Structure 1
Amino acid sequence: MPGGVSGPFVRWLREIWEIRLYRYTAVLVTAVLVTGLFFAVRTALHEDRSCAPGVVRPENSDECVGVATAAYDFGHPQLRDAVNAIHRENERLKKGGYVTVALMLPYTASTPSTLSDIQHELQGAYLAQYQANHASNGQSPAIRLVLANPGATSDHWELLVDRLSAMAKSEDRLRAVAGVGMSTDYNKRAVAALTARGIPVVGSSITADDLANSAANKDAFPGLARVSPTNTDEARALASFAKVGAGRALLVYDKPGDPYTRTLQQSFAALIKGSPYEPQPFTPPADRSQEGTTANTFRQITHLVCDTAPGTDTILFAGRHTQLRQFINALGTRGCQDRKFTLLTGDEGSYLTGEKDLDHSALDHNLSVRYTALAHPDAWAKDPAKTGGSAADARTLTDLLARATRAPVGPIGETALEDGQLIIGYDAMTLAVHGIREATPDGRLFPSLADVGLQWPQVKGSLRVSGASGWICLDVHGNPYDKAVPIVELTPEGISRFVRIAWPEGEPPAKECLPPAS
């Protein structure tokens, strides 16, 4: 009896257990598969951070940074025509017959004025590449151009430097980095890291004195050359033009500043040493393209401007373009409308023509705004000097630009010369090509990386570069000597009107263009 009962009962229990086991196992397997799939998908998404060949999104960032080696416009359609033109030129080059130059700019920037500058500098660099490859009587090596992006604020400069270093050792044969962009702390670190690794750098629009080689800093950036004058030279040229007097000027400056604003402040302060007026600081956001609350500070400073003695008629401004625009707007509503003032500033003034929030009516209220430009299309046409540059040198670029609206040179997109960026981008790339080809030994196809940066001290005299912005004669530290500085005035219509060329030395260089001993 017990055995007869236990047999069916045990089988029943076994069947129940097996059914439940199968169910639990199925649920467990499903859970494992789903979890595995989830992590696999997440890992795949996590690992696939690429944007284009050579360009990635770093961890915790949506920016695409790195070196674009294909036709990639970093999400900005306004760059597309120039990017495609560069790609066509690069594709035409014979494999193994070129060296590479990287144009380092913040391609993922979003502010319209910065994007406009990037577009124009990119166009200028491409035109110099095209000129080097098609109009140099077959000189070698051929030049390949790639786009190097350290991020909108250059905060990913370390990733970029590593990528560029690898390209210098590979078949890319990177031989120079041009451009750099603004004189910021991040860019200063990037230039220091690149030159420490033996990579030559040609700065286009960097003007900060502490982002330059000198005897004082024992050439802290070996292999760095620049085509723009330092802030000190810009200030000296401005002073020779405006005859700035210590008792007639008030200094307004960015505190704590960045490399550009700090050295401009120091240069301006030296010009008006002994002024009866205490310099007036303002503190912008860390990202100086943002508005912040500085407009409130500028409203207060305009009261102090009006409190100065009647003979004071000059305001020296050491700040970036967003704050410059805010200050001009504030001056337009100042209390002392009957007094005339001239605001003088550095090359950040070139951004004003693209500032849509600028109150142009401020310039109808006894206010003039003048600044030192890096280049201007009217400089050599309307104020030709006997030396230091020429209209013929400037026409080399403008003639090429006229051909860039169509094939084979173009199209390269909508162009403009008034902000000077296309011109200075062309000259920086031209200097890079000059250094590369001068460093190429007879009988060799390519120069060594180390030899390119050694060429800069010899770029003078008959070996100078006759740039579209003026002669580029470098001193032993790689800085331009007595470079032409166009003085430009902003009109109420928002146009940059060329005034005249000024010179850091007070007059153009001699025809030999040989810098004197320090």
Structure 2
Amino acid sequence: MAEQERNPAGGGVVIPRPQRFRRLRRLAPALAVAVVLALAAGTVAVWDRFACGGPGNGVRSVQGQCVGVSDGDHVFHEDFAEIQALIAAENARVAEEGGTVVRIAFLGTLTFGDVSPMDPGRIRRALEGAYTGMMRANHSHDFGDPSPRIQLVLANMGAQQEHWETVVDDLVAMSAEPVPLVAVVGMGVSVESTRAAAERLAENQIPMVSSAVTADGLDHFEIPGLLRAAPSNSEYVRALRGYLDALEETPRATLVYDTTEPDLFVSTLRDAYRTRLGEYVTGQAQEFSGTTVGDAPRAGLFNTVTLNVCAAGTDTVLFAGRTPDLNAFLDSLAARACADTPVRVLFVVTGLSALADEELMATLEESRITLVHASGIDPRWATGSPDVDVPPGYAAFRAAFAEEVTDDPSALDNGYALVNHDAFAVAASAVRTTNAMELDGPPLPSDVFDQLMLLNSAHEVPAGAGVLSYGPERGGEAVGRYVPVVELPLEEDQPQERPYVIGG
């Protein structure tokens, strides 16, 4: 029965209590809870942004990492403070100067955990290389008419690229802004998250130039709009084939490979060895369960592998694994039972970080091990003959890097400065070719996308590692790219004579 009350005017008439008052009374606690939750959510949303420098800077805290896209103001790591200040200053100059402006994003790992596919040292050099490319693009005619001006933004996917979706969504949204994002560079790790990010960008017709992604299949054939600045694993192994073919004695090789899946770098390198160097393999293949990207190798991982390599009479190892596993294998090989027999270990790398490891160099020399790298750079290019042994654009790159960043030659050894400079140079060249289209405003990503397979003939890119050319028949491979083979420890002061050149 409905609740009733007496008419205050008297007379005994009973008046039903209005239902809405009862509903409001019941709703009041729920409304209070909703207000509290809304305020809490708003506080968390704002805090996420203040934790990474404040709202409006494009970066927010996700699981303790500052993830998102920055114009350089938010410093992702203390090692990046100086280079990010330079990037931010050039971005501000371009904005103040006005005119037609577009943006290119460096996409990668800018924060680090106990397990990360990259490290601050390589990423610092990568940013320095991209910055050098931006300065050349904005202040010279090296990569075409210096208009439109280009800003460089930094996009962090997290320590293990686990937040790629969030960041790629940000980049896609930026492609429709008044100062549009028109290309992406970086993408330096051959793992599944890189493939997923590239596929999402391709769906939105945002062109990409990867710097150190070498896995076969991560290219324009499979992901439209994805070009390479570094060689693919197949091209690295082609360079190693030329090295083995030139040896005086036919090598006796054993393939040693990681079975951990999925790792696109490892699996495609293993397949490239089998396809292109299989005739040199005499011993049984040796498997190991290696690290995930960034994990520490287990103690004793390679003891059995090393015994089998010795028993097979191997003088050459084709190694398909990650660098931490390679280092653990070399330690095991240094203590091998067949130490009287010299052995060479073949591997592919973007650069030669191993040169800075004095302990490793001493181990190689004392243990009669030669580490043979098909590499993205030869540190001796600074002293080689530019008409034969050195890429024709290397001297200009090195001079620009010295002027804009540092003249310390060791800064170039890990290869990331060169390859990221070249990736930016390719992207900037594609942007500048849109000038012939007589657009009403800045080019859109789709306009730049349409130019990628036209970067050839009259529009080759004078990059640091070669005069690069792209066409549909090579699937985004950088034709004209030099791929030197370097033996460590270094015994010669001159670079490899007539190194392999892609497509040459």
Return closer, same or farther for 1:386/1:154 CA change in 2, 3 Å cut-off. same
1:281 to 282, 287, 307: 287
Aligned to 1:472: 468
CA distance in 2, matches of 1:380, 1:492: 15
Aligned to 1:134: 139
Are 2:353 and 2:413, in contact at CA under 8 Å, matched by a contact in 1? no
CA distance in 2, matches of 1:231, 1:488: 16
Aligned to 1:422: 417
Aligned to 1:22: none
Give matches, 1:53-72, under 5 Å.
53-58=57-62, 61-72=63-74
CA distance in 1, matches of 2:271, 2:407: 39
Deviations 1:372-430 (A, max 9, x none): 1112342364154549831xx2121222223225xxxxx89997011111111111101
Deviations 1:22-70 (A, max 9, x none): xxxxxxxxxx999998995686246521214111122xx1111111124
1:248 to 248, 252, 267: 252
CA distance in 1, matches of 2:126, 2:412: 10
Give matches, 1:174-189, under 5 Å.
174-189=181-196
1:119 to 124, 129, 143: 124
CA distance in 2, matches of 1:221, 1:38: 43
Any idea what SS the aligned residue of 2:158 has? coil
Cα deviation for residue 442 of structure 1 reads 2.9
CA distance in 2, matches of 1:413, 1:73: 23
Give matches, 1:456-467, under 5 Å.
456-467=452-463
Q: Provide the identity percentage.
A: 28
Aligned to 1:503: 500
Return closer, same or farther for 1:115/1:499 CA change in 2, 3 Å cut-off. farther
Q: Check if 1:222 corresponds to 2:218.
A: no
Cα deviation for residue 316 of structure 1 reads 0.6
TM-score (norm 2): 0.82
Cα deviation for residue 360 of structure 1 reads 3.7
Matched residue type, 1:434: S
Aligned to 2:371: 369
Are 1:246 and 1:271, in contact at CA under 8 Å, matched by a contact in 2? no
Cα deviation for residue 352 of structure 1 reads 2.7
Matched residue type, 1:104: L
Aligned to 1:208: 215
Aligned to 1:88: 89
Give matches, 1:424-463, under 5 Å.
424-440=419-435, 441-442=437-438, 444-463=440-459
TM-score (norm 1): 0.80
Aligned to 1:397: 397
Any idea what SS the aligned residue of 1:378 has? helix
Any idea what SS the aligned residue of 1:49 has? helix
Deviations 1:258-293 (A, max 9, x none): 11111110001113335332211111233x211142
Any idea what SS the aligned residue of 2:422 has? helix
Cα deviation for residue 452 of structure 1 reads 0.8
CA distance in 2, matches of 1:144, 1:33: 47
Return closer, same or farther for 1:35/1:480 CA change in 2, 3 Å cut-off. closer
Are 2:350 and 2:376, in contact at CA under 8 Å, matched by a contact in 1? no
Deviations 1:123-162 (A, max 9, x none): 0111111111111286310000000111111111100110
Are 1:133 and 1:143, in contact at CA under 8 Å, matched by a contact in 2? yes
CA distance in 1, matches of 2:149, 2:465: 24
Aligned to 1:27: none
Deviations 1:59-83 (A, max 9, x none): xx11111111241221x22111110
Cα deviation for residue 220 of structure 1 reads 2.5
CA distance in 1, matches of 2:371, 2:389: 28
CA distance in 2, matches of 1:198, 1:413: 39
Q: Check if 1:305 corresponds to 2:309.
A: yes
Matched residue type, 1:264: L
Cα deviation for residue 342 of structure 1 reads 0.5
CA distance in 2, matches of 1:247, 1:396: 38
Return closer, same or farther for 1:484/1:412 CA change in 2, 3 Å cut-off. closer
Q: Check if 1:103 corresponds to 2:100.
A: no
Any idea what SS the aligned residue of 1:64 has? strand
CA distance in 1, matches of 2:480, 2:268: 18
Any idea what SS the aligned residue of 1:368 has? strand
Cα deviation for residue 434 of structure 1 reads 0.1
CA distance in 2, matches of 1:209, 1:220: 10
CA distance in 2, matches of 1:454, 1:322: 40
Aligned to 2:485: 487
Are 1:372 and 1:485, in contact at CA under 8 Å, matched by a contact in 2? yes
Aligned to 1:24: none
Any idea what SS the aligned residue of 1:395 has? helix
CA distance in 1, matches of 2:469, 2:350: 23
Moved more, 475-484 or 245-254: 245-254
Are 2:175 and 2:182, in contact at CA under 8 Å, matched by a contact in 1? yes
Are 1:192 and 1:220, in contact at CA under 8 Å, matched by a contact in 2? no
CA distance in 1, matches of 2:118, 2:226: 27
Any idea what SS the aligned residue of 2:300 has? helix
Cα deviation for residue 489 of structure 1 reads 2.6
Aligned to 1:321: 323
- Give the gaps of 5 or more residues in structure 2: 1-30
Cα deviation for residue 459 of structure 1 reads 1.7
Any idea what SS the aligned residue of 1:160 has? helix
Matched residue type, 1:435: A
Any idea what SS the aligned residue of 1:272 has? helix
Moved more, 81-90 or 133-142: 133-142
1:149 to 145, 156, 167: 156
Matched residue type, 2:381: A
Deviations 1:141-193 (A, max 9, x none): 00000001111111111001100000001123000000111111111111111
Any idea what SS the aligned residue of 1:256 has? coil
Are 1:238 and 1:502, in contact at CA under 8 Å, matched by a contact in 2? no
Any idea what SS the aligned residue of 2:257 has? strand
CA distance in 2, matches of 1:348, 1:328: 19
Cα deviation for residue 485 of structure 1 reads 0.3
Any idea what SS the aligned residue of 2:154 has? strand
Deviations 1:410-461 (A, max 9, x none): x899970111111111111011100001023236442232121222222222
CA distance in 2, matches of 1:302, 1:80: 43
Aligned to 2:200: 193
Return closer, same or farther for 1:403/1:387 CA change in 2, 3 Å cut-off. closer
CA distance in 2, matches of 1:246, 1:153: 41
Are 2:179 and 2:442, in contact at CA under 8 Å, matched by a contact in 1? no
Matched residue type, 2:317: I
Matched residue type, 2:93: R
CA RMSD, 1 decimal: 3.2
